[in-house]
Amino acid sequence: MAVAVVMDFNGATLEQYDQVIDKMHLTPGGQGPPGALFHWCAATDGGIRVTDVWQTREQFDAFAKEQIGPLTAEVGLGTPDTTFHDVHSYFTDGGS
């Protein structure tokens, strides 16, 4: 089952987020890692919010352990407040 993951990084900046994305070798608007269906990031009053939709929770957990955790720590981001939601439905642009 698809899962939505909402990560709030308190005190984080968009510049730090961009550093993490660069270290992951991802291109905004490009293809994400295997299992990732959708991703967005925005500034909030208290930091940044990253929201993902993944094919499975297990795929997200593996990516978080291998990439998100180590790379966010490397650029000085703390551990996010994370919530998970079972996805009832989602849409794509039809091109992927």
Residue 19 lies in a domain: yes
Percentage of the chain modeled with pLDDT above 90: 86
Compute the mean pLDDT over every residue in the chain, rounded to the nearest whole number: 94
> Phi and psi at residue 6, in whole multiples of 5°?
-110, 120
Instruction: Taking residues 36-60, report their average pLDDT.
Output: 97
Residue 94 lies in a domain: no
Residue 67 lies in a domain: yes
**Residue-range definition of the domain harbouring residue 57:** 3-86
Closest CA to 38 of 88, 3, 66, 80: 3
Assess whether pLDDT exceeds 80 at residue 93.
no
Residue 96 lies in a domain: no
